[in-house]
Chain A
Amino acid sequence: GNSVTQMEGPVTLSEEAFLTINCTYTATGYPSLFWYVQYPGEGLQLLLKATKADDKGSNKGFEATYRKETTSFHLEKGSVQVSDSAVYFCALMSGGSNYKLTFGKGTLLTVNP
């Protein structure tokens, strides 16, 4: 079956530090890959996505590249801000299902001033 493994948190960084959150997946077919972010007290919102191998998704300074050879979709940001403090979820939607997202367990990021 499908599964997503992302690095366990919590992750604590100082402002302007470099961020990497690792995400690897197992899936049938050719999945689409997503990063969602959940700010405190809110629901999830889409941060970025990639729908085929070697695609790079980007938004708000965050980037992730769909690597089929390593089945990975690592999230990166060159300089984090306090406002990036949130829980980040990696997710996939497999080619066999147009409906279901499979999520990782989430990574809590705290950015200190």
Chain B
Amino acid sequence: DVKVTQSSRYLVKRTGEKVFLECVQDMDHENMFWYRQDPGLGLRLIYFSYDVKMKEKGDIPEGYSVSREKKERFSLILESASTNQTSMYLCASKPTGAYNEQFFGPGTRLTVL
């Protein structure tokens, strides 16, 4: 079975802390994505990666960075967390190919105090 796992379901951090959100997929997919989900705004793409060490900015990259050192792992980094980064964060992976679906992890609900 296809599986995307995220390191935490719930996380509470303080303003200014450096935060790491980890995502691992076991499907050997080339492409991985980080989204944030907010009420009334739907899902917005933060960053994506189409290969190891490759990354591209999505629609809302400000305040975030990413790391992909191994194919199966894609990390989202909040360099200095702020209260407006309180959100649900969703990771997804996808094999190469125009019509292939994205597979999502269960999400991490991050609260920044």
A contact set with B: CB distance below 8 Å? 32, 34, 36, 41-46, 49, 51, 89, 93, 95, 98-101, 103-106
Contact = CB atoms under 8 A, between A and B. Distances in A.
A54 B86 CA distance: 41
Given A49-B101, A93-B98, A103-B42, 6 more contacts: A32-B98, A44-B92, A99-B31, A99-B48, A103-B43, A106-B42
B98 A89 contact: no
Nearest to A97: B98
B31 to A, nearest CB: 5
B102 A89 contact: no
B81 interface: no
Interface stretch (B12-20, B61-69, B72-80, B104-112): B104-112
A105 B99 contact: no
A41 B90 CA distance: 12
* Interface bracket on B: 20 to 34
15 contacts: A43-B4, A44-B43, A44-B90, A44-B104, A46-B102, A46-B103, A51-B98, A51-B99, A89-B42, A93-B98, A98-B97, A98-B98, A99-B31, A103-B44, A105-B40
Contact of B41 (A32, A101, A105): A105
A43 B104 contact: yes
Given A103-B42, A104-B42, A49 B107 contact: no
B8 interface: no
A46 B45 CA distance: 17
Contacts of B58: 100
A36 B96 CA distance: 19
Count chain B CB atoms within 10 A of each CB in A45, A49, A93, A98 and give the residue with the most. Answer: A98
